[in-house]
Amino acid sequence: MQSKSFSVKTVVAIGIGAALFVVLARFGSIPSPIPNTNIQTNYAILALFAVLYGPLAGLLIGLIGHTVTDLISYGNPWFSWIIASGVFGLIVGLLARKLRIQKGQYSLIRIQDGEFGLKGIVLFNIIQIIANVLSWLVVAPVLDILIYAEPANKVFTQGVLATGANIATVAVLGTLIAIAYSKTRTKQGSLTREE
């Protein structure tokens, strides 16, 4: 799962990760009263895939997944938010990898090695908060203003809501799934039968 810049596995992870993103966007989201703003479980999955498969995969799963979702369910791609989705995946992937390099061979977020303790959980959440703030409070509203000339107070209100909702979703769902996933990676050698 180590990212060799663009291995076959990364290509497949992008393709199938984006398919999962699309399916969850359609089934696993709860609408909120503000337009364009949903509590979306698919961002929890995007965060996890960005950690597992790296920044390029995160970026492309976000871009492809969001574009395809918009196209097949509304026929109308909303580009500013599509780009923000990509940026979210990219930043989570970059920060998670950065930590990996600083700590030598292993990152502090060792989800795939079956270790995801308190330290990892805190780091994962710091990363996701930074990424969410940058994508939904900076990139999405600024692009909304640049592209669609929408009123600043409207798009920033939307941005605050989306940031809050996504931070909460990733904090709850993303963390739960990352913990559960890391537990599935426990080595068999550490187990004994109890009678």
Partner 1 sequence: MRKPMIEFDQFTFQYRAQSEPTLRDIQLTIYEGEKVLIVGPSGSGKSTLAHCMNGLAPHFYPGECSGVLKIGGVDSKKMGIAELSDLIGTVMQDPDGQFVGLTVAEDIAFKLENEGIVQAEMIRRVQEAAEEVEFADFLAASPQELSGGQKQKTTLAGGLVGGAPILLFDEPLASLDPYSGRATVELIDRLHQNSARTIVIIEHRLEEMLHRAVDRIIVVDEGRIIADLPPDELIASGLLREKGIREPLHLSAIRYAGGSLSQEMNLQYVERMNLEPYRDSLIQWSETPMIESPISTSKPLLELENITFGYDSTHPVLQEISFQVSQGEVLCIAGRNGAGKSTISRLICGFHKPSSGSITLNGRDLSGDSIRERADVIGFVMQNPNHMLSKPLLYDEVASGLVHRGVPENEIRERVHETLRVCGLYPFRSWPIAALSYGQKKRATIASILVLRPEILILDEPTAGQDYRHYHEMMTFLMELNAQGMTLIMITHDMHLMLEYGQRTIVLSEGRKIADDTPARILGDAAIVEQAHLHETSLHILARRLGIEPEEKIVSQFIQSDRRRVN
Partner 2 sequence: MAPRLLSYSNIDSPVHRLSGVTKLLAFLLFSIAGMISYDTRCLLAMLILSLVVFYVSKVPFKQYSFVLYLILIFAAINQLAIFLFAPEQGVQIYGTRHELLHVFGRYSITSEQLFYQFNILLKFAVIVPPALLFLLATEPSEFASSLNRIGVSYKIAYAISITMRYIPDVQQEYVNISIAAQARGLDMSRKEKLGRRLKNMAGILLPLVLATLERIEKVSAALELRGFGRKRKRTWYKSRPLTKTDGFVIAGAVLIAVAVLVITFWDGARFYNPFV
Binding site for partner 1 (CB under 8 A): 179-181, 183-186, 188, 191, 193-195
- Cβ proximity to partner 1: between 98 and 185 the closer is 185
- Cβ proximity to partner 2: between 33 and 104 the closer is 33
> Which one of partner 1, partner 2, none is in contact with 73 (Cβ closer than 5 to 8 A by kind)?
partner 2
150 binding partner 2? (CB under 8 A): yes
- Cβ proximity to partner 1: between 61 and 90 the closer is 61
Contact 107, 96 (CB under 8 A): yes
Question: How many residues does the structure list for the chain?
Answer: 195
Name the one residue in this structure whose structure tokens are 């960005």: 50
Looking at residue 175, its amino acid is T
CA proximity to 110, closest of 185, 32, 11, 195 = 185
> Which one of partner 1, partner 2, none is in contact with 169 (Cβ closer than 5 to 8 A by kind)?
partner 2
Distance CA 8, CA 62 (A): 19
Contact 174, 44 (CB under 8 A): yes
CB atoms within 10 A of CB 170: 29
114 binding partner 2? (CB under 8 A): no
Shortest Å distance, C-beta 102 to partner 2: 26
CA proximity to 66, closest of 29, 33, 92 = 29
Shortest Å distance, C-beta 75 to partner 1: 20
Distance CA 70, CA 26 (A): 10
Binding characters for partner 2, 52-91, by CB under 8 A (x = yes): x-------x---xx--x--xxxxxxx-x------------
DSSP per-residue letters across 92-103: HHHHHHHHHHHT
User: Binding-site residue total for partner 2 (CB under 8 A)?
Assistant: 58
Q: Is 43 exposed, middle or buried (0-12, 13-18, 19+ CB in 10 A)?
A: buried
> Which one of partner 1, partner 2, none is in contact with 195 (Cβ closer than 5 to 8 A by kind)?
partner 1
Tell me which residues touch partner 2 (CB under 8 A): 6-9, 11-20, 22-24, 26-28, 30, 34-36, 41, 44-45, 48, 52, 60, 64-65, 68, 71-77, 79, 147-154, 157, 169, 172-173, 176-177, 180-181, 184
